[in-house]
């Protein structure tokens, strides 16, 4: 397929901007009048017909104007969109809000979801930072009742996991604390595979606990994303194209259903390095729930320690320039926060690495 002429690119851009603004089909006379174009309505109409024939526009009714197709939006996002940045004042305000609540990851996630939704006027999702490969930082064993023991497992990067263990016989707190300290000393900074190769270093109670530690770490490794935080769902439900249909609710179900969201993230943005942006338009033929929607996704974090995902979801008629700019800015900001805060664990290195003071 030959590329579009400069005039066709210009007209396609105008149609998309107008359709995003009005949610109504765009006619040639409207474009000429609104943008004071130096060409006739007939010329614009001919170019609209070419763009329709090429699959970038469609005409809902013979008497109506044109609306962009999925291919039209994809061409626009990949080749025509103008890079935009959030205003300096907005960026400073957002950064200030985050640095006021440093070292509170849960508050960061809720604030990030709120800001993404407000700035993009769409629905937002943010997943908590999650270790790419779980590595042990600290273990605690707490006697509770009889043979029951609470295991608290802290991973490098800050994730905490708890599990109730049932021992073969009651064990006192002093012995549990000694066992937890010894296991932490032996395996600190190591992942499940490394710990498994060194199981012979422990025996008895400690060997049993290490098996439970390995089960928990392998379960952590099987999950592709941390806890999900959502905001701005009403922004999507109020869009004109969704008010009389269930399309928006089907799309939002994707965000709220863990298995569907895990599949989406595993196949898309989690394969990218932090800072990358990915735009999915109309479900890309894979996710039927997103058939009438677009989603802008980004990743953030400290590679090798913890990474997360953030993004916004709206109708295909979303303001892509603004959505991409706010997702990119928030990705960079959260990456800085994760690096500065969670990298406090950087003295704990994977086997074979040495930390220099």
pLDDT tens digits along 31-52: 999 999 999 999 999 999 999 9
Residue located via tokens 């199981």? 199
Q: Quick one: tokens of 244?
A: 């009389």
- Work out the average pLDDT over 226-232: 87
pLDDT value at residue 18: 95
- Work out the average pLDDT over 146-151: 95
Give the bridge partners for 309, in sequence order.
299
pLDDT value at residue 242: 76
pTM: 0.79
3-state secondary structure the chain: CCCCCHHHHHHHHHHHHHHHHHCCCECHHHHHHHHCCCCCHHHHHHHHHHHHHCCCEECCCCCCCEEECHHHHHHHHHHHCCCCCCCHHHHHHHHHHHHCCCCCHHHHHHHHHHHHHHHHCCEEEEECCECCCCEEEEEEEEEEECCEEEEEEEECCCCEEEEEEECCCCCCHHHHHHHHHHHHHHHCCCEHHHHHHCHHHCCCHHHHHHHHHHHHHHHHHHCCCCCEEEECHHHHHCCHHHCCCCHHHHHHHHHHCHHHHHHHHHHCHHHCCCCCEEEEEHHHHCCHHHCCEEEEEEEEEECCCEEEEEEEEEECCCCHHHHHHHHHHHHHHHHHHHHHHHHHHHHCCCCCCCCCC
- Tell me the C-alpha distance between 117 and 356, whole Å: 42
pLDDT tens digits along 270-309: 556 666 788 999 888 778 878 888 999 998 988 777 788 9
User: Which run of H or E residues covers position 293?
Assistant: strand 293-302
Q: Which of 110-114, 249-253, 290-294, 297-301 bottoms out in mean pLDDT, i.e. has the lowest?
A: 249-253
Percentage of the residues of the chain whose pLDDT score is greater than 90: 57
Average pLDDT, whole number, for the chain?
Answer: 86
Q: Quick one: tokens of 3?
A: 């590329």
C-alpha separations of 49 from 86, 163, 166, 178 in Å: 35, 64, 72, 78
pLDDT value at residue 129: 83
Question: 112 near 106, Cβ under 8 Å?
Answer: no
Residue located via tokens 């010894």? 182
- Work out the average pLDDT over 60-70: 87
pLDDT value at residue 39: 94
pLDDT tens digits along 19-29: 999 999 999 99
Confidence label for 224 from pLDDT (cuts 50, 70 and 90): low
Question: 311 near 123, Cβ under 8 Å?
Answer: no
Give the bridge partners for 269, in sequence order.
none
- Tell me the C-alpha distance between 313 and 326, whole Å: 13
Q: How many residues does the chain have?
A: 357
3-state secondary structure of 95: helix
pLDDT value at residue 351: 39
pLDDT value at residue 318: 92
3-state secondary structure of 224: coil
């Amino acid at each position: 397929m030959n590329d579009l002429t400069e005039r066709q690119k210009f007209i396609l851009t105008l149609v998309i901007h107008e359709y995003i603004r009005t949610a109504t089909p765009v006619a040639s006379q409207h474009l000429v009048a609104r943008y004071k174009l130096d060409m006739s309505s007939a010329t614009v109409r001919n170019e609209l017909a070419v763009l329709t024939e090429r699959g970038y526009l469609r005409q809902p009714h013979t008497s109506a104007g044109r609306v962009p197709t999925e291919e039209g939006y994809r061409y626009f996002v990949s080749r025509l969109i103008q890079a935009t940045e959030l205003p300096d004042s907005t960026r400073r305000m957002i950064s200030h809000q985050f640095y006021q609540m440093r070292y509170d990851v849960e508050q960061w996630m809720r604030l990030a979801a709120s800001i993404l939704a407000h700035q993009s006027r769409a629905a937002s999702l943010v997943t908590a930072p999650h270790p790419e490969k779980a590595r042990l930082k600290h273990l605690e064993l707490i006697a509770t009742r009889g043979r029951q023991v609470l295991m608290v497992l802290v991973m490098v990067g800050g994730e905490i996991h708890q599990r109730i263990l049932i021992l073969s016989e009651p064990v006192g707190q002093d012995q549990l604390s000694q066992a937890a300290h010894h296991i932490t000393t032996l395996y600190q900074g190591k992942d499940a595979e490394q710990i498994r190769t060194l199981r012979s270093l422990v025996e008895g109670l400690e060997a049993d606990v290490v098996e439970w530690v390995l089960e928990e770490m392998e379960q952590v490794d099987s999950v592709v994303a941390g806890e999900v935080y959502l905001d701005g769902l009403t922004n999507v439900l109020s869009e004109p194209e969704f008010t009389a249909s269930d399309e928006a609710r089907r799309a939002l179900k994707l965000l709220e259903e863990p298995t569907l969201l895990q599949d989406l993230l595993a196949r898309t943005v989690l394969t990218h390095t932090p800072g990358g942006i990915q735009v999915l338009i109309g479900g890309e033929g894979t996710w039927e729930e997103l058939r009438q929607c677009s989603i802008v996704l980004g990743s953030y974090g400290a590679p090798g320690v913890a990474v997360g995902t953030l993004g916004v979801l709206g109708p295909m008629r979303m303001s892509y320039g603004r959505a991409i700019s706010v997702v990119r800015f928030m990705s960079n900001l959260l990456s800085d926060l994760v690096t500065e805060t969670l990298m406090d664990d950087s003295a704990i290195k994977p086997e074979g690495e040495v930390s220099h003071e």
